[in-house]
Structure 1
């Protein structure tokens, strides 16, 4: 078998392109234009045939009014099965400057593509506009519909409604409009509500979470917000994640794009400040209101990419309905760079018991110099596992479309293969896992040799550290001879400093004992009674000298801060045990801590005296 490649096909159209979306793997809609009165450059929507991996063919196009704006956003609603078959497409197109100046800007358009399966040469394909309306309420003449996203359909819910979201661009009064996407051939939509964010959304996405519940996620430069949408209400936006500046930096990285992976995870594209590169961040969304999103996984794009321009994501094992739990799945992620490259990644979603995780965010290909000019939009075709023997393994692929301001469209075919989880034991009583599909090209994760080397180094370091600790604490036979090179404070034995009564206390005064401990530690010493109440030969609780640790020994007080009566009791106690004499003076106790002498011990000392 030869080396797997990613074949590509391209076409040059006569107008700049700003948006694209797949009808299905074999048909792609692209759109753009020169705007109102731009030297004869038209505003158009074009349907392309992508069934041939090496050649793109124009099926049909709709030329829009030259007096109106170009198409800046686009979303395919889906293929309607009724006869004659048709596709509904929503597009963002500003009305003419005269209408906009009058406060009439019907920026959302509904178009149909009739009989999309037939060739343009037969005259069977027709693109036509069927409805237009305004979603935004402010009459700002500079505003346009910059972003348009629809919640993905589910194969298990053929007639389920979907939610759409559109966001303003260049508006003095930023808005995000929510609307119902009709589930029938009707092109009409119903507004669900409007949000007025503090600043304009940099990007947004929508996902269905229940039979008629959705979640909207949007980001501005530095924050990610989520909004819960149900039949009853649209919640207030809640900030779930904020980019913080790096240590010592006054500027922050900024979000460029975001997409839902599942209802529990987002993937975002982050442009680092001062054009210092791009990163992919996978965010785990919070499950309740008192939590924030957390960074679950991340990866850096190649250093040649200083900024990103677009993002596309595709789940190769989508669930049939929003109530289904997402199991193991692989996502294909594409990021367009300002160097006209496209970086391709795979990302694994794993599910076990009640836990979901993201793992193995790894590149598998960098497509360089895809277009002669800036890439404006990306789209990845849907993928449905083949039924029976409909396709051979060599024919399996998802298609990645990219468009540019240089009027070019390129479609890459990414090979897909069947994957069976070999960890599912044949002896298990549970039914074996169904096969899923993954990218056939190998991802370029960390080298196993590098991982093994790192693990080996860590193991050697742990062994050396352990041996040094053993030698420092006199716990075993010296091998490295490390003790003589270590600071004195490292070489105190791990065992507790011997009790005063367990030493030859007739030979060592309290001064000697304190000096012994101080030779190994610079921390304060504490003199205290045995907390277990062990009694020495003199009938008093045994004395102990330790390096002070408040968590272990409890509170202690310096000699200078002891009350006079407690000082007298401690002097009598130490004199009684033979560790202190009057001629030694009290200066010996300077800087030494004393534990509580305790009422019972004080009474014993007093009675003995």
Structure 2
């Protein structure tokens, strides 16, 4: 059953393009946007939103940026204290500064916080920890340009992506990565997030050429090499780069490339990667749009331990209402002692003028990731394009839990050009319920893949058994098979008289027992065998009878007082016919030759014809043929005059 999701929204005075939660206090959401450098009068701002109430969002800090500069294109919170947080943003300089070769696209700010109402785990902040009820003043910390193209003139370079490594505890060092867009030569830069980063703070710089990074993500590395891992994707390829903490990083490695990119298909006919997120240090989640706004897919990329190879281990097509995906984020919930945890996945989709959010879950263990499990579909979240989707960081309550432990929620925020901020509150539950030190999940974990396969096979066997049982019972009732289950006796006498039929074989062929069938079959086989053996002798006897009848005809004709001629004609298909001619003139009218008058070739030919017709055999000798007349028409004339 889908969880009950509550939501709150607030409309600001400017279009929104970026958002991020305070990593250590989910009550605070930072958003940014604006009208850019145009003269529309729409300001460029960064606002702090209080999300502590599930029925209301409140704007508590409003930072108006310099007029004439560009709007906020990317935004992330790097760290926070009780009284303030530090944030970085992507903001282009004014058009005049850009033409002068000065585009300070990376900005840092300190945003004052109001009094905390609670920690991330839901507990109340002690009085000694509470800051003043009014937030401290906010201020800009610094601005700098890291992209090489930012010093050029007449280009549209902007900071399209800004991402930090995962936050665990306050004060823990984090690294950041930015990617450029619309630049003559695009780049990805990984750096230490000091207030004003310089080249000394750079960890890695990747040249992309004309290609752009659609998205990137950072995670902590595991195994022999400590440090971090950078993953990024272009339209058709996925890369990773190891970022050791104490040595120079190696070159990025290509992990996966779409098959369509190697064909002659135009770019508009190819799928494109839209976003990438780490599920674990060795599993990547990819969001891919199908060509022609025909849908989107989620892909899980499994990476080898040495980060040299990968394969697609899981794929899921998103809801049919999603024509094109525009955003992706994931949230890792707390883990158990066996390193089992649940991952919440949110995908923003666009369909016409409305934007929706599909929420899924996936279970993870040391054995690998589970399957995608749909959770809920949030329709019509924004009336226009959704520009940013972000989860709050879930830290979890203090363990062991008690009756005083408050309910736990995860927040999912989205912003759009419709100027609306929307926060969804997803209720979490402890798992297992009986444990005092549970982990938290959004949906109850599903069965493992092996258990799911075993269960599916068992269900299939049960279904087949039930169908076979019903078929046997039906056939018994209709009298098709002998009764084994006694199915006709299960019915009432009235129904049995209307539906049931006696066993057909038992009623109509009762004289044939089962034991007789093999005997009958054996007898029939013996008869066939005898007929085959006798067939050659029968054929020989038939030929002998034919020759005997002809000899009898010749003998009887020789006993007559008046000589007659016997004419044997060879008809078509090799058949023979006989004719007895009483008129001797018939013999004189035909062109005849005696056997001894025939040439050697004609004799050889006639011998073969006589043998084939069964009138003569070689063992009879040629003396039998002497005195017989042979017609030029292919017949045989026997002149019986004088015993010939």
Query: Which TM-score applies when normalising by structure 1?
Result: 0.65
- Residues 532-588 of structure 1, C-alpha deviation per residue, up to 9 Å, x if partnerless? xxxxxxxxxxxxxxxxxxxxxxxxxxxxxxxxxxxxxxxxxxxxxxxxxxxxxxxxx
Give 1:340-355 correspondences, 5 Å limit: 340-351=355-366
Q: Which residue of 1 aligns with 2:88?
A: 90
Cα shift at 1:160:
3.7
Cα shift at 1:295:
1.2
- Residues 462-498 of structure 1, C-alpha deviation per residue, up to 9 Å, x if partnerless? x9xxxxxxxxxxxxxxxxxxxxxxxxxxxxxxxxxxx
Cα shift at 1:193:
3.0
Give 1:438-517 correspondences, 5 Å limit: 438-440=441-443, 451=456, 455-456=460-461
Distance, in Å, in 1 between the alignment partners of 2:148 and 2:294 is 39
Q: Which residue of 2 aligns with 1:399?
A: 411
Distance, in Å, in 1 between the alignment partners of 2:360 and 2:8 is 21
Distance, in Å, in 2 between the alignment partners of 1:384 and 1:226 is 27
Cα shift at 1:384:
1.3
Runs of at least 5 residues in structure 2 that lack an aligned partner in the other structure: 118-130, 469-644
Q: Which has the higher helix share?
A: 2
Could you tell me which of 292, 305, 313 is aligned with 1:287? 305
Distance 1:445 1:50, change over 3 A: farther
Q: Which residue of 2 aligns with 1:100?
A: 98
Could you tell me which of 296, 308, 311 is aligned with 2:325? 308
Q: How many residues align?
A: 433
Distance 1:270 1:326, change over 3 A: farther
Distance, in Å, in 1 between the alignment partners of 2:453 and 2:421 is 38
Cα shift at 1:237:
1.4
**Alignment partner of 1:349: what SS?**
strand
**Alignment partner of 1:68: what SS?**
coil
Cα shift at 1:86:
1.5
2:439 paired with 1:436 = yes
2:292 paired with 1:274 = yes
Cα shift at 1:361:
1.0
2:144 paired with 1:145 = no
**Alignment partner of 1:10: what SS?**
strand
Q: Which residue of 2 aligns with 1:111?
A: 109
**Alignment partner of 2:292: what SS?**
helix
- Residues 264-323 of structure 1, C-alpha deviation per residue, up to 9 Å, x if partnerless? 11111111122221111111112226x42111222211111011000110000269xxxx
Moved more, 231-240 or 409-418: 231-240
- Residues 61-113 of structure 1, C-alpha deviation per residue, up to 9 Å, x if partnerless? 110012100000011012135xxx22000000001111111111111111011
Q: CA RMSD in A?
A: 3.4
Distance 1:47 1:445, change over 3 A: farther
**Alignment partner of 1:281: what SS?**
strand
Instruction: Find the structure with the greater CA-based Rg.
Output: 2
Distance 1:194 1:3, change over 3 A: closer
- Residues 225-264 of structure 1, C-alpha deviation per residue, up to 9 Å, x if partnerless? 0111123212211100112239999443211000111111
- Maintained 8 Å contact 2:431/2:444: no
Moved more, 385-394 or 41-50: 385-394
- Residues 24-59 of structure 1, C-alpha deviation per residue, up to 9 Å, x if partnerless? 211100000000134100000000000000100010
Could you tell me which of 283, 298, 308 is aligned with 1:265? 283
- Maintained 8 Å contact 2:361/2:443: no
2:426 paired with 1:414 = yes
Cα shift at 1:347:
0.6
Cα shift at 1:212:
5.8
2:63 paired with 1:62 = yes
- Maintained 8 Å contact 2:397/2:405: no
- Maintained 8 Å contact 1:363/1:443: no
**Alignment partner of 1:455: what SS?**
helix
Cα shift at 1:336:
0.2
2:379 paired with 1:379 = no
Moved more, 308-317 or 121-130: 121-130
Distance, in Å, in 1 between the alignment partners of 2:447 and 2:421 is 27
Distance 1:249 1:193, change over 3 A: closer
Q: Which residue of 2 aligns with 1:470?
A: none
**Alignment partner of 1:98: what SS?**
helix
Moved more, 208-217 or 363-372: 208-217
2:139 paired with 1:128 = yes
- Residues 500-531 of structure 1, C-alpha deviation per residue, up to 9 Å, x if partnerless? xxxxxxxxxxxxxxxxxxxxxxxxxxxxxxxx
Give 1:186-335 correspondences, 5 Å limit: 188=197, 190-198=201-209, 199-209=211-221, 213-230=227-244, 231-245=246-260, 250=265, 251-288=269-306, 291-317=308-334, 327-335=339-347
Q: Which residue of 1 aligns with 2:20?
A: 21
Cα shift at 1:327:
1.6
Cα shift at 1:197:
1.5
- Maintained 8 Å contact 2:2/2:376: no
- Maintained 8 Å contact 1:346/1:443: no
- Maintained 8 Å contact 2:3/2:375: no
Runs of at least 5 residues in structure 1 that lack an aligned partner in the other structure: 320-324, 423-431, 464-609
Cα shift at 1:192:
1.9
- Maintained 8 Å contact 1:202/1:255: yes
2:94 paired with 1:76 = no
Cα shift at 1:178:
1.2
Distance 1:253 1:405, change over 3 A: same
- Residues 101-134 of structure 1, C-alpha deviation per residue, up to 9 Å, x if partnerless? 1111111111011234369996424322111111
Distance 1:217 1:448, change over 3 A: closer
Q: Which residue of 1 aligns with 2:11?
A: 12
**Alignment partner of 1:15: what SS?**
coil
- Maintained 8 Å contact 2:143/2:196: no
Distance 1:458 1:259, change over 3 A: farther
Distance 1:3 1:338, change over 3 A: closer
Distance, in Å, in 1 between the alignment partners of 2:302 and 2:436 is 26
